[in-house]
A and B are shown apart, each in its own frame.
Chain A
Amino acid sequence: MKGQWSLWTKMLCHHVVNKSSQMSPSICSRLGFQTCDHRFPDWNWASFYSSMEKPLRLYSTDLEPQLSSDLIRIMEQRLSAIEYRNAYLQDIIAKPEVSAGEFSSANKELKKLGGCMDLINELRAKQKEIHSLKSLMDECPDDKDMREMVVEELNEAVEEEKRLQHLLLKSLLPKDGADERDCILEVRAGTGGEEASLFAMDLFKMYERYSQKRGWRFEVVDVMESDLKGYKEASGAISGPGAYGKLKFESGIHRVQRVPVTEKSGRVHTSAVSVAILPQADEVDVQLCNEDLRIDTYRSGGSGGQHANTTNSAVRVTHIPTGIMVSIQDERSQHMNKAKALKVLCAKLYEMERTRIQTSRSMLRSEQIGSGDRSERIRTYNFPQGRVTDHRAGITYHSIDDVMEGESLDIFIDALLLKQEMDAISSFSSL
């Protein structure tokens, strides 16, 4: 009896909590609830976003390594290749007899090269300027005033040339097309039982806070709770500019060292939680066919339809070719649960496709940081010592509370972004 009662009040509350804003006031007052859900506070997200909006920095700008002459030589070769290709494509679209298909594919490629070509043209103009300044200097070796002026201009031009070369180098580095996408976060408790589940919850909330601080939208997709209200598994959808690009380095094993609440003797335990960040995809990216999907509900037998009254709206979607199954039950209607399940399924299929392409391609080292091995231990959270160590960046940060509050994650993320960039540069010169 008691159990039923508590379930009942919980159900009533839950029903109202998530949707109270959409219900008529009379319904709320009939129930006598005033609700406040910390996850979806009823405030103006739009103004929140705009107040948080900061220019996004995808590549580091503060640390510009001196480009070696070798690197510049290699880059020059690439640049001439691009210029040649550009001229060739221009030629094609100028021809009157070209077919529509050829025209559009050439046009597409030209557009892709466009940004790069603008920089190249600028660089070429600068180089021409430098050349003429140099010859001017040779022509009048005796005019001191003139020489000084020319040297000054020459220095400026050389600086500008360097800046353009840097920009070009960055535009030539391999980019992950998914960086700008939204992402799905999955947290799963690993070894360590209840303690791992509790830490999985802590991590999940850390990412939630981090997302909120950046003005991203964080939506809980599904949570499977453990006995002590930790998270055995949890997933969330994070939307905001560049969310995947920022968070992709978080994939991997996160290790925690602390005295678990379940531990009576005060011994420090080590547990592990795995985190996966998947770029979000839509149905266009993965081309879901209706025939490949099996959708079922958990309602047991019976005639259904008008015969039955139910409050259970859980949905399970199975992708038959891959056997991937996604179950969602935390939305209030079957329709919404199905939509959410399809979203998660798309992200999973898209990620599978990406991994397939990446492994079939020659792997750049930079790609391994971001989306490579999920079983790699990437970070340790040591509570007794109050530190967090990232094993890839080799950085230890000594205020663990800040990190768990979602404040200082950027320290690791920026270091890893920089590392990725440096790796890409070094692999560029070794090609």
Chain B
Amino acid sequence: MEDYTANTQMGSSTNNNFLRLRTSLEDLYALWEERIVKRRPFQYIVGCEHWRDMVLAVEEGVLIPRPETEVLVDMVEEVVRERKDLREGLWVDLGTGSGAIGLGISGVLGESGLVIAVDLSPVAIAVAKYNIERYNLQDRVEVRQGSWFEPLQDVKGKIAGLVSNPPYIPSEHIPGLQPEVGKHEPISALDGGKNGMDYLLHLCMESASALTPGGFVAFETNGKDQSKIIAEFLHTMPKNGFCDVKIRSDFAGIPRFVTGFLR
């Protein structure tokens, strides 16, 4: 084929991005093979994922934050715009993974905000800490290791907002997952038990006593039926239930999120 770009007279300019390789093509080829043959996720290969306005470090053992989850933070932003008391209160991200949601919330709360990011996995704790320090937010986002509400006993009943993207995929769906997900991402961040709602239901029950009255919850769910069940559950919970429970769709039209306020 004729090389048009060789003719510079007409101003059809050449590619201006210069790349100097520091690694041999063999090494690059090996990376490519990992991607194409082993289906290792692109984000693990480059070691990061662009999420909202951030670049978050990720590695094997930590769930790669999903684009859908960005909207969870948008919903928090909408809520704290209306409710000053919640903006100045304590927020919690349960099962933080790479720290994405916690960092996102810290961003929308601004200087006065305080977030606690909880995870059970030591790898997740290390990665979340790294990301938080990279954005110099260690004074505003605290990382605690433990299972769900376990490390939060000292703030019980004082939490203004609780956000979580817990594992919600039904166990039987795990073997059929896209290889990038099923073979490489941590199953502990994906498998939500028999119907996928083990952790979601646990979080719903516990959040009633963890939140301050009027506090806000937002969960990501598997979609259609799950979001309906969780919404129904929040609404009809024994003792002090939740009000203003809403289901919100992601940009693909799947009813993905459930939000509510403690009575």
Contacts and interface: CB of A to CB of B under 8 A. Distances in A.
A296 B55 CA distance: 23
B46 A27 contact: yes
Interface in B12-40: 12-13, 15-23, 27-28, 31-32, 35-36
A36 interface: yes
B250 interface: yes
A212 to B, nearest CB: 14
A304 B250 contact: yes
Given A13-B17, A35-B17, A315 B251 contact: yes
Contacts, number: 164
Given A23-B48, A201-B13, A333-B52, A305 B220 contact: yes
Given A304-B68, A308-B66, A31 B254 contact: no
Contacts of B134: 24
B252 A304 contact: yes
A383 B27 CA distance: 47
Nearest to B50: A332
B11 interface: yes
B168 interface: yes
Contacts of A258: 10
A306 B190 contact: yes
A35 B141 CA distance: 32
Contacts of A306: 63, 66, 165, 167-169, 181, 189-190, 222
Contacts of B223: 303-305
B17 A17 contact: yes
A293 to B, nearest CB: 11
Given A32-B22, A296-B251, A306-B167, A333 B67 contact: yes
Interface stretch (A4-12, A60-68, A370-378, A416-424): A4-12
Given A313-B50, A315-B251, A198 B22 contact: no
A15 B42 CA distance: 10
Contacts of A8: 32, 35-36
Given A305-B66, A313-B67, A296 B36 contact: no
Contacts of B15: 229
Interface in A11-32: 11-13, 15-17, 19, 22-24, 26-27, 29-32
A5 B32 contact: yes
A169 B87 CA distance: 51
Nearest to B190: A306
Contacts of B118: none
Q: Which of A27, A31, A202, A404 is most buried by chain B, counting CB atoms within 10 A of its CB?
A: A31
Interface residues of A, number: 63
A383 B11 CA distance: 11
A124 to B, nearest CB: 50
Interface string B151-171: 000000000000001011100
Q: Which of B10, B165, B253 is most buried by chain A, counting CB atoms within 10 A of its CB?
A: B10
Nearest to B134: A24
A121 to B, nearest CB: 45
Contacts of A12: 28, 31, 46
A72 interface: no
Contacts of B251: 295-297, 315, 334
Nearest to A31: B46
A228 interface: yes
A311 B35 CA distance: 13
Q: Which of A295, A297, A307, A332 is most buried by chain B, counting CB atoms within 10 A of its CB?
A: A307
A389 to B, nearest CB: 18
Q: Which of B4, B35, B69, B168 is most buried by chain A, counting CB atoms within 10 A of its CB?
A: B4
Contacts of B55: 19, 22-23, 332
B47 interface: yes
B150 interface: no
Interface in A250-266: 258-262
B10 A296 contact: no
Which 8 pairs between the two chains have the least Cβ-Cβ distance? A32-B23, A332-B50, A32-B22, A309-B180, A334-B67, A335-B52, A38-B16, A333-B50
17 contacts: A8-B35, A13-B19, A22-B55, A23-B55, A27-B57, A35-B18, A36-B17, A37-B16, A198-B10, A228-B12, A296-B253, A297-B67, A297-B251, A297-B252, A307-B169, A313-B67, A336-B52
